[in-house]
Amino acid sequence: EIQVLGDNHGNIVHLFERECSIQRRHQKLVEEAPSGVLTPELRTAMGEAAVNVAKACDYSGAGTVEFLLDSDHNFYFLEMNTRLQVEHPVTELITGLDLVEQQIRVAEGEALVFAQSDLSINGHALELRVCAEDPMNDFLPTIGKIEAYNPPVGENIRVDDFVDAGYDIPIFYDNMISKLIVWAPTRIEAIEKMKDAINQYEIVGLETTLSFGSFVLNHPNFVSADFDTQFVQKYFSHEQVLESEKTLSTAAALLAIELLKTTDKPVIASGERDSDWFVNRRNG
């Protein structure tokens, strides 16, 4: 998807792309910017196409033009969302622009103070939608009281949330609890920072998509940017999760053995959280 921004004076720019292919039930769970597969030429072509869509309807404000990309890198128009998207923070982090501020300025009649040539991509950003649902039970929503809530903190870690310990998740609304966003100079560094942030994030009392986020970030197809909208169907089954846990546990055990050979001090299982991340998350 391509973020666009227009004012009431005929100026329209695009703020590059967001990769949103990690989905369940056609709704996004992991988003990143920029995409790991677009070439500069394709990025320019898709950006220009998005701007042309916005110009065709004299669009003003923030909006998103969504495309589908096939295996041959041909892109096809899907839809336009005439609002701010849930995943707008990743665009903000790579461009340095506050999109909410820009919308207010446009609504007040101001013209954009930058042109397309002034915009560039800086680093890489990832977002995980933290939803109250059970990934191991077909992502069914969960309800109940949040018994403990401690979001991660740190440089280039952002949490957009509205809950705290004691909050009751009801059945009546969207089940998203928060958005966890990170930024780093490179995609690989952003992945590692997101993994650390997820490990810090404590939500006790109900199941969430934090565990799914860990699964995605540790999956080789995600790390190599070789994935599509069928990621969940292809790779996320109960059997595959258990196999991943077994592999990580074996690796942790082998590492502990090697450490025992080189030290006479007790070995603390610091890798336990990584090797058993899914079980630990599901057990709170």
Active site residue 43: no
User: What is the end-to-end Cα distance of the chain in Å, rounded?
Assistant: 34
Report the amino acid identity of residue 157: I
Residues with Cβ within 8 Å of residue 31, at least 6 apart in sequence? 18, 19, 20, 22, 86, 87, 90, 126, 127, 129
Which residue, chain included where needed, has tokens 């809530």?
149
Which residue, chain included where needed, has tokens 């677009």?
38
Distance separating alpha carbons of residues 13 and 112, to the nearest angstrom = 9
Q: Which two tokens stand for residue 172?
A: 């009546």
Axis crossing angle, helix 210-218 with helix 238-262, rounded to the nearest 10: 70
Distance separating alpha carbons of residues 234 and 227, to the nearest angstrom = 10
Residues 18, 24, 43, 83: which is the catalytic one? Answer: 83
Give the per-residue SS3 of 53-68.
Answer: HHHHCCCCEEEEEEEE
| 3 state SS of 97 | coil
Distance separating alpha carbons of residues 135 and 132, to the nearest angstrom = 10
Residues with Cβ within 8 Å of residue 107, at least 6 apart in sequence? 61
Residues acting as catalytic residues: 83
